[in-house]
Structure 1
Amino acid sequence: MNTILLAASQAGANFLSIGLLVIMFVIMYFFMIKPQKKEQQQKEIMLKELEVGDTVLITAGFYGTVIDIQEDLVIVEFGNNRNCRIPMQKQAISQVEKAKDSKK
């Protein structure tokens, strides 16, 4: 009789530990994985909407203006003297500020 109760309590403990693991995975998904995917999608949309003339902030902390856009490369102009043009990957852009329309 004692062995039957012992086996039943061990089976209950196994189901409880599996349930806790499932709950921990669900919590991790909603607090870590889902926000990261959402941020990645927002960055992809931002890079798709990138246009010539937009002001960008690159990951190195420099602000510049987009001069030319190719597939994975962007040529960015830095500074006031207009002589510093650097090609870089689109992934190096962390923020985009749209160019203001001159028609208004």
Structure 2
Amino acid sequence: MLGLAFAMAAPAQGGAPAGGGMMAQFQGLIPLVFMFAIFYFLLIRPQQKKAKEHRALLDALKKGDQVVTAGGMHGKVTALDDQVVTLEIAPGVNVRINKGYIASVKQD
């Protein structure tokens, strides 16, 4: 199998030009463009959409919301800063976490 790969990559012998010129190069580019399109629509675009939704969730966060963190901790938002959220996880127990670790807001 490896010998076949080297044989296909070897230049044409005898001084004759190999390949079909511009059309052969274009046909070699088509599968790469097709693969990039598949990766974009199946991986990149959905990930960007989910990140945009998460940013919107964090921007809409307000005091009194019931939230769940990425680690699974449930709590009530008692204070908000630019990057830090204070959660009350039990009466009188407050925890400060980074805002990006808020996974979801519970709907009551």
Normalising by structure 2, report the TM-score: 0.78
* Match among 71, 96, 100 for residue 87 of structure 1: 96
* Match among 52, 55, 58 for residue 41 of structure 1: 52
2:31 aligns with 20
Mark the runs of 5 or more structure 2 residues left unpaired by the alignment: 1-15
What do you get for the CA RMSD once the two structures are aligned? Answer: 1.9
- Name the CA distance, whole Å, in 2 between partners of 1:40 and 1:7: 45
- Name the CA distance, whole Å, in 2 between partners of 1:93 and 1:47: 7
Q: Give the total of aligned pairs.
A: 94
SS at match of 1:61: coil
- Name the CA distance, whole Å, in 2 between partners of 1:97 and 1:74: 16
1:7 aligns with 19
- Name the CA distance, whole Å, in 2 between partners of 1:65 and 1:56: 6
Q: Which has the higher contact order (CA 8 A, sep 6+)?
A: 1
2:83 aligns with 72
Structure 1 vs Structure 2: percent identity of aligned residues? 28
* Match among 59, 63, 68 for residue 70 of structure 2: 59
- Name the CA distance, whole Å, in 1 between partners of 2:32 and 2:42: 15
